[in-house]
Amino acid sequence: MRLADTIIHVLTRTAQWGTGLSFAVLIVSVLIQVTGRTTGFAPVWTEELTRYALLFSVAFGAGLAFRSGDLVNVDVVCESLPGRLPWVLRLVSAIATCGLAVYLLPHAWRYVSIGKMQTSPALGVRMDVIHLTVWLLLLLLAVFAGLRVLGMLSGAEDGKPVKPEED
């Protein structure tokens, strides 16, 4: 289990860093745009960079949101059910999430490959890099949902979201 914990920790930290970095780019881009509008020189590329940074923030953050329970999670009814039924519903939900994400991965990859033929108008970035966010979102969602399923089946966790400790 030590190796599994290390892998989970590395994946979580990578997603946290990716979310943080893309959010920092988003903040800087918006600040440049706001400053530019007040001074009369608003660069065109900031709007495009903001959109792409937001896409990367969502892509990296979706798996983390699933893990922490911040993704849509309707558990009022589920958790009030008797016995082992809440655990079973959490397991089915995690399996369905993982299965759907895995099913969509090859289709998302086809979407990414279409972007090879395009570049963004203002930044000149190849669009497959930007389209990769859709695939990355599905991959991280599948990984974190799969880890929840494995944890539940092995008895290492009960399937409830992992809330970060308050500092």
| pLDDT value at 1 more than 80 | no
Q: Are 66 and 141 in contact (CB under 8 A)?
A: yes
Q: How confident is the model over 36-88, as pLDDT tens digits?
A: 989 988 898 999 999 999 999 999 999 898 888 777 766 777 778 888 888 89
3-class secondary structure, 126:
strand
* pTM for the full predicted model: 0.85
If one compares 112 and 161, the residue with the highest pLDDT of the two is 112
Question: What pLDDT is recorded for position 69?
Answer: 78
| Residues in CB range of 136: below 8 A, 6 or more apart | 56, 59, 60
Q: How confident is the model over 98-142, as pLDDT tens digits?
A: 999 999 999 999 999 998 889 999 999 999 999 999 999 999 999
| pLDDT value at 16 more than 90 | yes
Residue 151 one-letter amino acid: G
Question: What pLDDT is recorded for position 96?
Answer: 95
Q: What is the DSSP letter of 44?
A: T
